Amino acid sequence: MPTITTNQFKTGTHIEVDGQVFRILDFQHVKPGKGQAFVRSKLRNVDSGNVLDKTFRAGEKVRSVRTETRKMQYLYESGDDTVLMDLADFEQLSLPKSVTGEALDWIRPNDEVEVLFVDERPTGLQVPSAVELAVTKTDPGVRGDTASGGGTKPAMLESGVTVHVPLFVNEGDVVRVDTRSREYVSRV
């Protein structure tokens, strides 16, 4: 069972605390003027998604959890499940939508995605920080709208998600969207 100390913490590392697996979102080493040093951390529970603030003593050991990503192809949705196919051995995997979360907003059928496995158990999908998708439905722009003009309008993208785009974007245009903030970045 591999262990790491608080000195080896890195953002994104998975650790086990009190029998549950957490992902380190943020951490800070604190050395007060008086007393022992400690590490203040913000952890996300892999199973429930809850965020926990936890303080560790400096040098405290915790169990490191093995993680890996596998390339898979998104096939389709079946009820409350998402069906993916492993590109290495063509085996199909069914994940509940609670695990895939909002990542499905940015994925089209047959797209390749990275599935994160924690201790050989699938725990989520990883999508790029920005994606390029075609606009399938939006209102036409009004004459006089320019790239520098203010204002936005809703546009449905080919994955089914709706984002706000500038007035000059039309149906059929391909746009780049930031998946973290769900905001329009540019027209491609």
Residue 161 CA to residue 141 CA, distance in Å, equals 20
Segment 91-103 mean pLDDT? 82
- CB-CB neighbours of 21 under 10 Å: 20
Is the predicted pLDDT of residue 27 greater than 90, yes or no?
A: yes
Q: Percentage of the chain surpassing pLDDT 70? A: 94
Which is higher by pLDDT, 146 or 7? 7
- Sign of the Cα pseudo-torsion (55, 60, 65, 67, in order): positive
Under CATH, which number does the domain 3-64 receive?
Answer: 2.30.30.30
Is the predicted pLDDT of residue 94 greater than 90, yes or no?
A: no
Q: Percentage of the chain surpassing pLDDT 90? A: 17
Pick the CATH number of 67-126 from 3.30.70.3460, 2.40.50.140, 2.60.40.1180, 3.40.630.30: 2.40.50.140
pLDDT tens-digit map of 43-81: 988 877 788 899 999 889 999 888 888 889 989 888 888
Domain locations along the chain: 3-64, 67-126, 130-187
Residue 12 CA to residue 180 CA, distance in Å, equals 16
Question: What is the structure's pLDDT at 139?
Answer: 85
Q: Which CATH superfamily is domain 130-187 in?
A: Nucleic acid-binding proteins (2.40.50.140)
Query: Nearest Cα to 86, choosing from 97, 96, 95, 78?
Result: 95
Mean per-residue pLDDT of the chain: 85
Length of the chain: 188
Segment 21-41 mean pLDDT? 90
Which is higher by pLDDT, 38 or 149? 38
> Are 3-64 and 67-126 the same fold in CATH?
no
